[in-house]
Each structure stands twice: as C-alpha cells, then as structure tokens.
Amino acid sequence: MSVPAIVDFRRGGAPADAPFDPAKLLAGTPRASVDNRYSDASQQFHCGTWASTPGRWKISYTEHEFCFLLEGRVRLTSSDGVAVEFGPGDAFVVPAGFSGTWETLESARKHYAIFERSG
C-alpha cells in the first residue's frame, strides 16, 4: 500500500471556469473559476481554490464549507437578513442548511474545504 501524496497548494493549479446558474443571479455578471485540488475516495470531502469577480447570487448549502479568503471582499446575507462581510485573511464556515445570498464585492479568491454527507 502506498502512502498518499501531500496536496501542496503552493504549486500552480489548473483553474476551470465555474459558470453561475442564471436563475440564481441577482446582480452583476460575475465570472468564477474553481481549482479543486483534492477529493477523497468517497467524494464527500473536497479542497481547492475558488475565485469570482463582483456579483450577487442566491445560495443554498447542502454541504459544510470552510473558507479562507485570500483576497477581495465578500458579503454573505442569510435568508433572515443577517449580513456578514469578510476580507483578506478572514476564515469562516458556511454550515449545511444556510441559505441566502453570496455577494462578491471586490474580486475575491478563497481556499475552501467542503464536506457533504452522502445520501
């Protein structure tokens, strides 16, 4: 049995376009990319880097996501109206069941770790 390799985020990745669902867009014409660096064998745990230009869209999380904002500014507003802004160096968790809006105020880039239960 071989030892799994360490996933080093310092090495350049291969970002791919991550188009937004037009039905969820509320403002702007954001463009996003994702560079998923790791997925476990169960396909429940994922890590990578995500980036977006400014815009606002509806969100409804089925997964738990840890975010570490590398650059830019974002605002998450819950469906009950509570808004929180984050900037470079901020870390936060969006728990499964959260719904509301995500707004990229300034072009942003984050590292993420996502866990989604199967079934």
pTM: 0.93
79 DSSP 8-state letter: T
**Total number of residues shown for the chain:** 119
41 DSSP 8-state letter: T
Instruction: Count how many domains the chain has.
Output: 1
Digit-coded pLDDT (tens) for 97-118: 999 999 999 999 999 999 998 8
The residue segments making up the domain with residue 67 are 32-115
Asked, for residue 14, whether it belongs to a domain, the answer is no
Digit-coded pLDDT (tens) for 8-33: 998 878 999 999 999 999 999 999 99
Asked, for residue 22, whether it belongs to a domain, the answer is no
Asked, for residue 92, whether it belongs to a domain, the answer is yes
Rounded to 10 degrees, what is the CA torsion of 51, 55, 58, 63? 10
Asked, for residue 10, whether it belongs to a domain, the answer is no
